[in-house]
Chains A and B, each alone.
Chain A
Amino acid sequence: MSGTALDPRTAPTFPMAAKAMLGDTQLRKNVRHATDVIQAKRARVVGEMPDWQELREAGRQIRQHTMEHLDFYLEEFEANCTRAGGVVHWAKDAEEARQIIVRLVKSSGADEVIKIKSMTTEEIQLNSALEAAGIHPYETDLAELIIQLGQDQPSHIVVPALHKNRQQIREIFQRTMNLPNLGERPQDLADAARMFLREKFLRVKTGVSGANFLIAETGGVCVVESEGNGRMCLTLPETLITVAGIDKVVPRFADLEVLLQLLPRSATGERMNPYNSIWTGVHERDGVFDGPKAFHVVLMDNARTEILADEEGRQTLNCIRCGACQNACPVYRQTGGHAYGSVYAGPIGAILTPQLQEMHHAQSLPYASSLCGACYEVCPVKINIPEVLIHLRNRVVKQNTAGVAGFFDVEAGAMKAMGMIFKSERRFRAAQRLGRMAETPLVRKDGQGVGWIGWLPGMLGGWTQVRDLQEMPKETFRDWWETRGKDGR
């Protein structure tokens, strides 16, 4: 049922994919509108918090402390979850996580599952694994349902169908729900989704969720959402399977005081999420279950331990998946999420994806940023995304210039030459003179007698696609400085 998955191993490079997206007028309009709306809402509810910067700092400290003691808190979570009647499974990678979940679903006797919106299940491409095992997954988050029915892929962490507008969603529902006369008012669409989903909630016996937070102190799992469909999936099924990256743990219940202020304001511009669910193990009294009879948590590593080992990259794991960086990013706002070739798009995707996957498959992502810093400014846990982007660029360069191949890399050659030039002012001045001579054949005078370059060769041609370049002045600053008279002229 799912379309071609977003997979960095097979995706085109960011500049290639972005080029295609830039030609899609409707998509760009939808992305622009949605990110504008969310940004305005966020700015309003953040602006009303006098201690927002202190909250951000508290959030950063909680996350950093957790990462420094991740082994301890994971074991504490396991012990407390187990004590409460949950079963904890450990998965070292996506493949192991998929196998565990498929096995658990099958042993629950189900051939279909209802799902709560979860980026982690997208990360491990769980739906196609379930389908391959003869299990039908039903997405119940409205946006994820739109994505699933439209055989599309998520383009945003929080608002996965942000690239679709109402008319496009109506068309998907008309086609896939067999509702040719469906109206286009928001309530028409919500009614259609409700009718479609209610029947699944009541019928399907097994639920799959992700997690916003795992609480080590209590063994509880927390999910926040806006629709209440998640709450249905948490309470109605007999078996509930939660899959979460090991980075989702927080030490104490009280830490949610900070994180549940930061997350909704940053994510959807709400003061609080309409539905905040926390469940801890299973609850039974006199043979009657309150909620699921069986509860499993799959704690998945999938390269997170490697990220943790990298001193400069590890702050990536502090992310609480609010998507604020995506809404603020001027690159994401032009291209939308699919250009990133990964379920994690935007600035956070540009740093997370290359670290989750092998760097070879996502080398263009650390460069998919102008380093403007808008992401860092809005990040509720103060992840310095530009700093990590630069760190990853360095890793890309090291990878590409290692061995013989590096010798033939044009960019690396040019960069090394420039490096040599900047090491000596004499060489720098020679290069300035050489540059003036080299550009001469390309310069054309305009009506004012000023020389402009309208075409540049090779990689530099990217510049002259839409921009002219003024010719180099005849005299550099330092030439002028040396010859200036005592009168300051």
Chain B
Amino acid sequence: MEVVLRVALFITCYNDTLFPETGKAVVRVLERLGHTVEFPAGQTCCGQMHYNTGYQAEAMPLVQRFVDQFRGAEAVVVPSSSCVAMMRDHYPKMAVALKNERLLAEVEGLLPRVFEFSEFLTKRLGLEDVGAYYPHRVTYHASCHGLRNLGLGDGPQRLLKAVRGIDLVEIAGLEQCCGFGGTFAVKNAEVSSAMLAEKTTAILNTKAEACTACDNSCLMHIQGALHRQRTGVRTVHLAEILAGDEGVRR
């Protein structure tokens, strides 16, 4: 590894609480690639849930908190497209709304160093093969925020294709929303369920053992239905697949 980066991990509130394995996997991949990982202890949440549900006043203080925690980082890695989209699409506007020019300057200075996990690997490091081994049949779900807001393109699939032993199978309706949408899943539970039914059908049609994505939010929603229906199909964050290295480069 030519360049060793000091990477600050923004785990995000729900990954911290509900999906610690994803965070561990991110650390494992980054360290395996030779980078150092830091975890600023004061981090909490990006504010997406509040902001997108209409509680913008509650989201506002989290912009300053994020900047305070991460301003010194060479790169900030976030294993969640929707949280990165929240920051990229709304933080500058929020700093303007707060009439805080210093915060705006800091946000604009920091955002180019903030990456979604797969994006960091493919765009910042220029990697596809991260030395992973995962001998399972897997389908990839493109989350809307990764697909449309971040423009991840086929980056995640290229990372997956380079994994040894993987049997990657494409899902029908790749660009269709799974119906999660944050509080949408609760406020419009019926419509969300109908959208989810389509997504799980498409997943089952691939005969995959596991469905992966760059967002545990979508996956929690998908997993909830796959488990309720006792399909035996798992969900797994992309980082956890890339962290698998059994038998390779031990």
Contacts and interface: CB of A to CB of B under 8 A. Distances in A.
A334 B181 contact: no
Nearest to B40: A425
Interface string B184-202: 1111111111111100000
Interface stretch (A61-69, A82-90, A132-140, A363-371): A363-371
A395 B55 CA distance: 9
Interface string A97-140: 00000000000000000000000000000000000000000000
Nearest to B187: A367
A478 B13 CA distance: 10
B61 interface: yes
B72 interface: no
B59 to A, nearest CB: 8
A15 interface: yes
A475 B56 CA distance: 30
Question: Which 4 residue pairs are nearest across A and B when measured between Cβ atoms?
Answer: A467-B224, A370-B181, A462-B189, A419-B58
A465 B195 contact: no
A interface SS class: helix
A372 B144 contact: yes
Given A432-B16, A432-B17, 13 more contacts: A331-B191, A367-B183, A371-B182, A372-B177, A422-B58, A463-B186, A465-B189, A465-B190, A469-B220, A470-B220, A473-B19, A477-B11, A477-B23
Interface of B: 11, 13, 15-21, 23-24, 27-28, 31, 39, 41-45, 47, 49-59, 61-62, 65, 89, 144-145, 148-149, 175-177, 179-197, 220-221, 223-225, 227-228
Given A367-B184, A428-B13, A423 B191 contact: no
B195 A331 contact: yes
Contacts of A481: 23, 27, 39
Contact of B144 (A371, A425, A435, A472): A371
Nearest to B54: A393
Interface stretch (A153-161, A236-244, A341-349, A452-460): A452-460
Given A15-B187, A419-B55, A472-B17, A465 B50 contact: no
Contacts, number: 187
Given A15-B187, A370-B177, A393 B53 contact: yes
Given A423-B61, A478-B39, A376 B148 contact: yes
Contact of A371 (B20, B45, B181): B181
Nearest to A469: B224
B13 A425 contact: no
A481 B221 CA distance: 26
Contacts of A446: 227
Given A330-B179, A415-B50, A415-B58, A462 B16 contact: no
A476 interface: yes
Contacts of A371: 52, 144, 181-182, 184
Contact of A454 (B23, B45, B56, B228): B228
B223 A470 contact: yes
Contacts of A334: 191, 194-195
Interface in A372-403: 372-374, 376-377, 387, 390, 393-397
B50 A480 contact: no
B212 to A, nearest CB: 16
A362 to B, nearest CB: 14
Nearest to A329: B177
B177 A476 contact: no
Contacts of B65: 422-423
B118 to A, nearest CB: 18
A422 B24 contact: no
A342 to B, nearest CB: 16
A475 B196 CA distance: 29
A466 interface: yes
B149 to A, nearest CB: 6
B127 to A, nearest CB: 20
A488 interface: yes
A393 B58 CA distance: 14
B165 to A, nearest CB: 23
Contacts of B186: 459-460, 462-463
Contact of A394 (B19, B54, B182): B54
Nearest to A435: B17
Given A370-B181, A373-B148, A472-B17, A15 B191 contact: yes
Nearest to B186: A462
A479 B24 CA distance: 11
Given A334-B194, A370-B177, A462 B148 contact: no
